[in-house]
Amino acid sequence: MTAAGTPAGDGEPAGGVRLRVVSYNVHSQRDDTVALAAVVREAGPDVVIVQEAPRRFRWRQKSAALAESFGLVVAAGGLPSLGNLLLTSLRVRVTGTRCQRFPLTPGRHLRGAAYAECRVGGARFLLAGSHLSTDPAERPGQATLLKRELAAARLPVVLGADLNDGPDSVPWRTVGEGLTDAAVAADAADRHTYSCANPRRRIDALFVDPRVTVLDYDVVDTPLTRRASDHFPVLADLLLPVTD
């Protein structure tokens, strides 16, 4: 992984635009929020895909405060996407947003997804984030609904998601069909993302369009990340295709 905090746009390779991505389940900010902010700021991302972001009382203000603590701005999500939040640096221009809610199962947690059409340099892409149910009976159907939205995208997709299931599961295969698993591309599929107390599972995925090159990938396991959430953040450097 390149040096933390180094602007991803410096020294663009020919034929592509660099993008640094963090996908992070922040555990509803129940843990050390100072450590959480420090983790993200140290990574220096262009975009952060957040799961378990504010989605209840004063969610707009809380989402803005979370973004500010990261040195970023809110692009999309929050309550309309049931806790999925997309944050961007000022380097990234957002040209359109939408949110998705999966059908409600009585007595279960609501789940959904957030989408933002973005432009950085000469590259355009669809940034997406989702969080599937903890109920194994619900996840396959939610994965199908998420995949339907992704398959209809006109732009190269960058998806960060807490799938609550591993790579051998039906939901993971459904969502990942036709996309590149960034961990596999970087030969890092053995890196577990959950839980920080006992890392035994890779349930946090970063999928990208095949036209996107995975330059580097990391699951950030440090004393700071172990204080910040119950999930480790996924950090990747990508090379987006020039679309203009």
Q: What are the φ and ψ backbone dihedral angles of 102, each rounded to 5 degrees?
A: -80, 150
204-208/157-162 β-pairing: antiparallel
Other C-beta atoms closer than 10 Å to the C-beta of 107 total 6
pLDDT at 210: 98
pLDDT of 2: 43
Per-chain mean pLDDT for the chain: 93
Q: How far apart are CA 73 and CA 120, in angstroms?
A: 15
Provide mean pLDDT across the span 15-22.
95
Listing DSSP states for 86-102 in one string gives EEE-TTSEEEEEEEEEP
For the segment 114-122, the average pLDDT, to the nearest whole number, is: 97
What are the strands, taking DSSP E only, across 166-233? 180-181, 204-208, 213-219
pLDDT given at position 110: 76
- Provide the pLDDT for residue 3: 38
List, for residues 170-226, the tens digit of each pLDDT value: 999 999 999 999 999 999 999 999 999 999 999 999 999 999 999 999 999 999 999
Query: Which position has the higher pLDDT, 6 or 109?
Result: 109
Report, as an integer, the average pLDDT of 75-102: 96
State residue 56's pLDDT score. 87
Question: Which element (helix H / strand E) includes 36?
Answer: helix 33-43
pTM over 0.85: yes
- Topology adopted by domain 16-241: Deoxyribonuclease I; Chain A (3.60.10)
8: Cβ–Cβ under 8 A, 6 or more apart, which residues? 2, 18, 19, 20, 44, 45, 46, 91, 237
For residue 238, how many other CB atoms are within 10 A of its CB? 29
Identify the pLDDT of residue 13.
61
Contact indicator for 116, 76 with CB cutoff of 8 Å: yes
- How far apart are alpha carbons 165 and 174 in whole angstroms? 11
Percent of the chain scored above 70 by pLDDT? 93
Domain map (residue ranges) of the chain: 16-241
Q: Using an 8 Å Cβ cutoff, are 91 and 46 in contact?
A: yes
Q: What is the percentage of the chain residues whose pLDDT exceeds 90?
A: 89
> Which H or E element spans position 9?
none
Q: What is the mean pLDDT of residues 38-45?
A: 98
Residue 216: the pLDDT is: 98
